[in-house]
Chains A and B, each alone.
Chain A
Amino acid sequence: MNVSEEVKKALGLGNETKPVSSLIGGGSDINVGEIERAASVIGGTMMVAQGLRKFSFSGLFLMGMGADSIYRGVTGKSWLYQLLEISTAPKTTGRKGGVVASRSVKVVKSLTIDAKPEDVFSFWRNFENLPLFMTHLESVSVTSPNRSHWVAKAPVVQKVEWDAEIINEIPNRLIAWSSLSGDVANAGSVHFAPAPGGRGTEVKVELEYEPPIGKLGVVAAKLLRKDPETTVQEDLRRLKQLIEAGETSTIKGQSSGRKTDA
């Protein structure tokens, strides 16, 4: 542990100034499981020892890796896992609005639309409009004043479905929902706030959901720009285009000298 701290400091890794005791075993952001933690300490120590033997760049690299490995074993926190938003630690948190926090992905995105909050709100509140700009949705059907049934396109399984309920609504300001049952547990809210200087409406989406493909799948999706962040951003952009310009800009189907594209 001391070795870890010393080496980490020397290498400029980590920036914690907290006493070590506060790092051990506690905190809500533990994302490494028990067995993996033990293995990390052993493996990390070996790497540091190996690294100390050679005084070269690769030696330094090994020491760095080893130090982080020990750190992660001791504290149960991995910066790499944090970076990738994955966790191998057992889930201790409970249900939160229909979503298990430890399994879920959270996305927050804002965009300003040049229209009045009441216009943007009412366009969104008519859920059957949503597939117009959320292109991964096949349909949303309203089943009762507060409930709706959602069908979305999905990789591999083709189609996922769920029921959702409005859990909070402030006319022209806020819609919050949570899933009740189905393939994708999700919860979220969308805020509509007037932008300063009469510049339209600031639309802010907060979405939390449990990806059917798992968190690692989300990391992979990022590479294809099909991750939730990009999806929400592009959904908002299409909403803005629909409301402002009356259509979404596209080049799909235009001419080109390529044989195989649309």
Chain B
Amino acid sequence: MKAICWEAPTKVKVETVPDPTILNPRDAIVKVTSAALCGSDLHLYDGYVPTMMPGDIIGHEFMGEVVEVGREITNLKVGDKVVVPFTISCGKCYYCQTEQWSLCDNSNPHAAMMETMYGYAGAGIYGYSHLLGGYAGSQAQFTRVPFADVGPIKVPEEIPDDKLLFLSDSLCTGWHAALNCNIKPGDTVAVWGAGGIGLFCALSAYLQGAEQVIVIDRYPERLEMAAKHTNAKTLNYSEVNVTEALKELTGGRGPDACIDAVGMEAHGFGLPGVYDKVKQTLRLETDRIHAVREAIQACRKGGTVSIPGVYAGFADKFPIGALFGKGLTIKTGQTHVQRYLKPLLAMIVEGKLDPSFPITHHMKLDQAEEAYEMFKHKHDNCVRAVFNPNS
């Protein structure tokens, strides 16, 4: 089969690799019909996530058709159309049983590696470095799906892929990040980043009852998309002082919750921005935290900072004083996708939610290099590109 392989920082390549096979009784093989290029794939592409190996198949947000099942799989059959959560969860451990799916004890074959770095290991994730299990990713014609009895959700044939694909990650991640804000009537939620995740954070915050949602980015086309599809007000951080503007929009109170949907490669202006860029380039810090710094600064006293943006290692100048001084709550972590699949699918089926709007490009696997470069530099107003590996 064909698959997009990570070769080196800023180098991906389409390779012909062996087809995946069933390795465990609870595995299934899925023929990938749609695989998104997620903003977090850019952290791999740019070489900021440790433990990538040349030849690793990348991609984690996907859906497709079941073509083979292991002997323990009874809930799926060949031909089923499924969306697959990007986190791999066993469904049986303490964490899965308490619906903290992304913290699964049993799905990371390289748990020891992650324990060395973080103390304890979280779930494995498709195509997202060996630290997260080293699983082959989904930007390929076929993908092996472990624990297929508790991960994939069957979806209706008649609904097109584009409306369903983001159940795999972005939509659930936006929903999860907004839920972490514990939104109450009258609340203002500010969202840093208007990529796929940020857009779904804004939409979710609105659907969860926020009075006002404000989206911050610097790309006009993304801000337009936020205004049009998520009911949000927008701020262009290349034009305004974000903390001042947020103060003005909230009667001087500050946002009740701030969401960092940017993650480890934030672009900052001024001295702190340069500081982070230099340190990250020299590998003195792995994570540029401009967005989260600003979110902490802007957040009202006693408010919540929710972080769906991906971080991997260490950062400098983390404003722990402001965090403490304002009594903020920080909520973080990979999304417990399996929690949200059914309710969000129901909203899509009922027509209450159409999460296809961020998709600006459909690509073939062979266009991998072009797609990654375009997405990275936001060329051609690209917000979300989706690979269709089998068409």
Contacts and interface: CB of A to CB of B under 8 A. Distances in A.
Interface residues of A, number: 28
Interface string A237-262: 10011001111111111111111010
A245 B93 contact: yes
Given A244-B90, A255-B140, 12 more contacts: A230-B112, A244-B105, A247-B25, A249-B107, A251-B23, A254-B135, A254-B136, A254-B144, A255-B3, A255-B20, A256-B57, A257-B57
A252 B144 CA distance: 12
Interface stretch (B11-19, B324-332, B359-367): B11-19
Give the top 7 A-B pairs by smallest Cβ distance, nearest first.
Answer: A257-B5, A258-B55, A257-B55, A245-B90, A257-B15, A245-B106, A247-B24
Contact of B135 (A114, A251, A258): A251
A133 B92 CA distance: 18
Nearest to A200: B94
16 contacts: A225-B112, A234-B112, A244-B106, A245-B26, A245-B93, A245-B106, A247-B25, A249-B88, A249-B90, A249-B109, A250-B109, A251-B134, A251-B136, A254-B23, A254-B135, A255-B3
B56 to A, nearest CB: 6
A172 to B, nearest CB: 21
Contacts of B18: 255
Contacts of A257: 3, 5, 7, 13, 15, 17, 54-57
Contacts of B107: 245, 249
Contacts of B72: 246-247
Contacts of A112: 94
Contacts of A110: none
Contacts of A256: 5, 17, 55-57, 136
A189 interface: no
Contacts of B13: 257
A255 B112 contact: no
A191 B91 CA distance: 26
A230 B116 CA distance: 11
A114 B97 CA distance: 10
Interface in A86-125: 112, 114
Contacts of B245: none
A240 B108 CA distance: 13
A253 to B, nearest CB: 5
Contacts of B53: 258
Select the residue from A112, A199, A241, A245 with max chain B CB neighbours within 10 A: A245
B133 A249 contact: yes
Contacts of B140: 255
A230 B113 CA distance: 11
Nearest to A233: B112
B111 interface: yes
Contacts, number: 98
Contact of A244 (B15, B88, B92): B92
Interface of B: 1, 3, 5, 7, 13, 15, 17-21, 23-26, 53-57, 72, 88, 90-94, 97, 105-109, 111-112, 124, 133-136, 140, 144, 146-147
Contacts of B108: 249
Interface string A162-193: 00000000000000000000000000000000
B21 A258 contact: no
Contact of A245 (B92, B112, B136): B92
Contacts of A237: 111-112
A128 B72 CA distance: 23
Interface of A: 112, 114, 199-200, 225, 230, 233-234, 237, 240-241, 244-259, 261
B109 A247 contact: no
A102 to B, nearest CB: 29
Nearest to A237: B111
Given A255-B140, A257-B54, A199 B21 contact: no
B132 to A, nearest CB: 11
A237 B17 CA distance: 31
Nearest to B134: A251
Given A244-B105, A256-B5, A114 B94 contact: yes
Select the residue from A230, A237, A259 with max chain B CB neighbours within 10 A: A237
B136 A249 contact: no
B136 A246 contact: no
A23 to B, nearest CB: 35
Contacts of A254: 20, 23, 135-136, 144
A252 B15 CA distance: 19
A241 to B, nearest CB: 5
A261 B140 CA distance: 18
Select the residue from B1, B20, B90 with max chain A CB neighbours within 10 A: B90
Contacts of A114: 92-94, 97
Contacts of A258: 53-55
Contacts of B90: 241, 244-245, 249
Select the residue from B1, B92, B108 with max chain A CB neighbours within 10 A: B92
B186 to A, nearest CB: 38
Contact of A249 (B5, B15, B97, B146): B146
B23 A253 contact: yes
A257 B3 CA distance: 8
Select the residue from A234, A246, A252 with max chain B CB neighbours within 10 A: A246
